[in-house]
C-alpha cells in the first residue's frame, strides 16, 4: 500500500469515527447507521474547494464507503466486533452509466413544464394541470398522496402555508410547506376553475371534468399531456415520480436544503432512502423550497 493510499484510508476512517461519534461502540452500529453516515458524508463540503460550495462527488463518496467497508472487515477478522453490518447496507454511490435513464428533469425542462401553455385544453383544465405539475415539483409528494389531498388539507400555520399529507407511505401523515405563489394558484383554482364535485368527492382538491377525485392514472395522463406541449429542445417523457425525483435533485444539488430536511419533505423512513438520489444531483444548481426557481418568490 502506497503512502498516499494509506493516508487516504486513515482520513476516511477518521471521518467515519467523527460522524459515528467518538467513543461509539462498533457493535452498536446497524447497517442503517452506516448508510446514514455515508449519506451525511456525501453532503459535506469537498476539501479540494476552498469556498465550501461543492459537496463530495459520487467517486469520493464511493471511495469513503469502500474504506469504511475495509475497516469493518479488518475489525471482524480480528474479532473486534461480532457482526459486520456492511453486507446489509443499501447505499451504493456510483456514477450513472450511459444507459441509465435519468428520472430527474433538467432545470430547463422543469421550468418549461410549469410555464408552457397547455394548447388545445380548456382554460379550467389547463389551470388544473399546471397546478398539479407545479405542486408535484414543489413538494415532491407521491402520486397517490397528490390524489388524496383535500381542500381542507391546505392551511396556514405560523404564518406559512402547508399541505397536510394525511395518507403517506405506511399511512404516515406529514405536512409539507408550499410557497405563497402556489397557494395563490390553489385559491384561484378552487374559486374559479374547479368543477362541481360529484357526490362523495366534495372534499377533494383536484377533480376530473366529471367532478370525480383524480386517480393516480389521471395524474399520469396529465404528465403525458404536458410533455406533448413542451418545446422540442427540452422535451422528454416524465412521470409523477420523476417530478418527485426532480424536487429532491434540484434542492439537494443547490445545497440550500439539508438532506435531512429533504428526507422529511419527501416522507422517507431514513436517510438511506433519500441517499438513493445521490446519483442524480451533480451539477444541478437551483433554489430549494421558497428559493425554488420553479415556484419561488421571484416568480
Rounded to an integer, what distance in angstroms lies between the CA atom of residue 189 and that of residue 176?
Answer: 20
Which residue in the list 65, 127, 213, 277 is annotated as catalytic?
A: 277
Which residue in the list 244, 245, 254, 287 is annotated as catalytic?
A: 244
Nearest to 137, CA basis, from 7, 21, 287, 261: 287
Which residue in the list 31, 103, 212, 241 is annotated as catalytic?
A: 241
Nearest to 136, CA basis, from 96, 165, 102: 165
Rounded to an integer, what distance in angstroms lies between the CA atom of residue 207 and that of residue 209?
Answer: 7
The count of other CB atoms within 10 Å of the CB of residue 187 is: 12
Mark whether 244 is an active-site residue.
yes
Mark whether 54 is an active-site residue.
no
Rounded to an integer, what distance in angstroms lies between the CA atom of residue 13 and that of residue 2?
Answer: 17
Which residue in the list 127, 130, 142, 213 is annotated as catalytic?
A: 142
**Helical residues (DSSP H) of the chain, grouped into ranges:** 3-20, 31-42, 58-77, 107-115, 123-139, 143-147, 180-188, 216-227, 240-254, 259-266, 271-274
Which residue in the list 127, 130, 134, 268 is annotated as catalytic?
A: 268
Look up cell 395522463; give the residue: 221
288 neighbors 250 (Cβ within 8 angstroms):
yes
Which cell numbers hold the place of 59? 467517486
Query: Which helix H or strand E contains 164, and what residues bound it?
Result: strand 160-165
Which residue in the list 63, 92, 169, 276 is annotated as catalytic?
A: 169
Dihedral sign from CA coordinates of 99, 114, 278, 255? positive
- Catalytic sites, residue numbers: 142, 169, 241, 244, 268, 277
Amino acid at each position: 500500500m502506497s503512502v498516499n493510499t494509506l493516508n487516504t484510508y486513515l482520513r476516511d476512517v477518521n471521518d467515519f469515527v467523527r460522524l459515528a461519534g467518538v467513543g461509539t461502540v462498533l457493535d452498536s452500529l446497524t447497517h442503517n447507521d452506516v448508510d446514514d453516515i455515508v449519506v451525511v458524508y456525501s453532503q459535506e463540503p469537498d476539501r479540494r474547494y476552498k469556498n465550501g460550495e461543492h459537496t463530495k462527488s459520487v467517486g469520493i463518496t464511493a471511495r469513503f464507503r469502500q474504506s469504511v467497508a475495509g475497516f469493518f472487515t479488518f475489525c471482524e477478522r480480528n474479532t473486534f466486533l461480532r457482526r459486520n453490518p456492511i453486507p446489509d447496507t443499501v447505499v451504493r454511490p456510483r456514477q450513472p452509466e450511459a444507459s441509465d435513464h435519468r428520472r430527474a428533469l433538467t432545470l430547463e425542462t422543469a421550468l418549461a413544464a410549469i410555464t408552457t401553455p397547455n394548447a388545445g385544453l380548456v382554460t379550467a383544465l389547463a389551470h388544473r394541470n399546471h397546478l398539479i405539475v407545479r405542486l408535484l415539483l414543489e413538494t415532491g409528494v407521491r402520486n397517490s398522496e397528490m390524489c388524496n389531498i383535500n381542500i381542507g388539507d391546505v392551511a396556514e400555520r405560523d404564518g406559512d402555508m402547508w399541505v397536510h399529507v394525511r395518507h403517506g407511505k405506511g399511512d404516515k401523515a406529514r405536512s409539507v410547506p408550499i410557497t405563497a405563489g402556489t397557494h395563490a394558484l390553489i385559491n384561484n383554482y378552487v374559486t374559479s376553475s374547479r368543477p362541481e364535485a360529484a357526490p362523495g368527492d366534495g372534499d377533494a382538491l383536484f377533480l376530473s371534468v366529471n367532478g370525480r377525485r383524480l386517480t393516480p392514472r389521471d395524474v399520469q395522463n396529465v404528465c403525458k399531456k404536458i410533455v406533448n406541449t413542451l418545446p422540442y429542445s427540452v422535451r422528454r417523457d416524465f412521470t409523477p415520480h420523476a417530478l418527485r425525483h426532480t424536487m429532491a435533485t434540484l434542492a439537494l444539488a443547490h445545497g440550500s436544503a439539508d438532506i435531512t430536511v429533504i428526507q422529511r419533505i419527501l416522507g422517507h423512513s431514513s436517510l438511506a432512502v433519500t441517499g438513493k438520489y445521490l446519483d442524480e444531483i451533480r451539477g444541478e444548481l437551483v433554489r430549494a423550497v421558497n428559493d425554488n426557481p420553479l415556484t419561488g418568490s421571484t416568480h
